[in-house]
Amino acid sequence: MDKQINTLHSPLILGDLHLKNRIIMAPLTRTRANNPGHVPTDLMREYYEQRATAGLIISEGTWVSERGQGWYGAPGLYNIEQSRAWEHITSAVHAKGGLIFAQLWHQGSISLSEFFEDGRLPLAPSAINPLQMVHVKDGLKMSEVPQEMTLSDIQQAVEDFRKSAQFAKDAGFDGVQLQAGYIYLIMQFLHESTNQRTDLYGGNIENRARFLFEVLDAVLTIWPAERVSIKTGPMLNEQGIFKAVPSTLKTLEYVYNKLNQYKLSHLLLMRQLADLNGTPLVALQGDDVLNHARKHYFGKIILNVDIEPDHAENLVSSEEVDAIAFGREYIANPDLVERLLIGASLNPQRPEGYYGSSPEGYTDYPFISHIPVFNS
């Protein structure tokens, strides 16, 4: 690995926050809150504290309500007990000089009735099985047909995001990020294959995007725009029914263009690992997803997914992107910033520890001071 001491390690201003570097910790579901109340644990505090040298930590997805759950072991951020537990984590990160955003998450149809004590179906824009695997206690299960949300359900979901944003502020987070990407509730409203409503939340692009912007407006009653970010991007997952259709690109561009009105902290954008050939998103392969976004969204952009350190440095130094979010690299390297600074090798990944309940594969990766270091 070449020595990385240039732009990645330079400061960055996001809104009114001064980041000490442009190496961002991406949101990573790690399932260590496997208790009945979905309460963050002291083990989670240690995990985030270890990684506080990141320019910014974006927390794992946190459920905005009991209704929003759908992944065994993920934490919540919708009651006082959870908020106080998160406060221990944010305080630890701040004590180490770090910054941390909470990612607000509602899984919608990517859930199962077994997550709910009364056995009710998960909620979604339409009663359509997304045909996705759901993480349960003992492995994976196929999703089921959800319950179509009533207008009252939609209003309640918007309010749930607002309340969770307040709990995040009470917990001492530096800001919040909306999970409006991949295959979860907000994307389920945006995507035609999962939203076949005929009311104000379905049909044309403006209607399908209505829920996203109502949620954003609600969160902005709690936080200033410069402390709010959004994760969204290409609406493609070539599994189940999340497949690109002719309107997918237009929907994406509509969202980007409208987001410009908000002056948010940043957009977290994901590169696609899937082969986009033969799809309406073929022009968004690799870094072209960034080039496309830059034509429509004019705020700060953080790029994520499958970016090697040398490539990251080139992207940032050429001002193509403002910062890079690392995911798996941060799982295995709590001191990623320091390793990149001196050109040290990275710890090997241990995928068997990505999800679980123990420190193994979570907080037991060695720091640079515990292993041989080399400079190139």
183, 231 contact by CB (below 8 A): no
62, 76 contact by CB (below 8 A): yes
Strand 139-142 to strand 133-136: parallel, antiparallel, or no bridges (unpaired)? antiparallel
Closest by Cα among 15, 58, 54, 59 to 33: 59
Q: What is the DSSP letter of 121?
A: P
Q: What is the largest CA-CA distance in the chain?
A: 61
> Which of 48, 72, 182, 184 is the catalytic position?
184
Structure tokens at 38: 């979905």
- Rounded to whole angstroms, how far apart are CA atoms 185 and 125? 8
Residue type, 224: P
Closest by Cα among 190, 195, 266 to 231: 266
Tracing tokens 């692009």 back to the chain, one arrives at 205
Whether 297 is catalytic: no
Angle of the 80-95 helix axis to the 151-170 helix axis, nearest 10: 40
Closest by Cα among 225, 218, 146 to 189: 146
- Rounded to whole angstroms, how far apart are CA atoms 64 and 111? 14
Q: What's the sign of the alpha-carbon dihedral 328, 333, 338, 343?
A: negative
- Rounded to whole angstroms, how far apart are CA atoms 120 and 116? 6
- Rounded to whole angstroms, how far apart are CA atoms 173 and 304? 21
Q: Which residues are catalytic?
A: 184
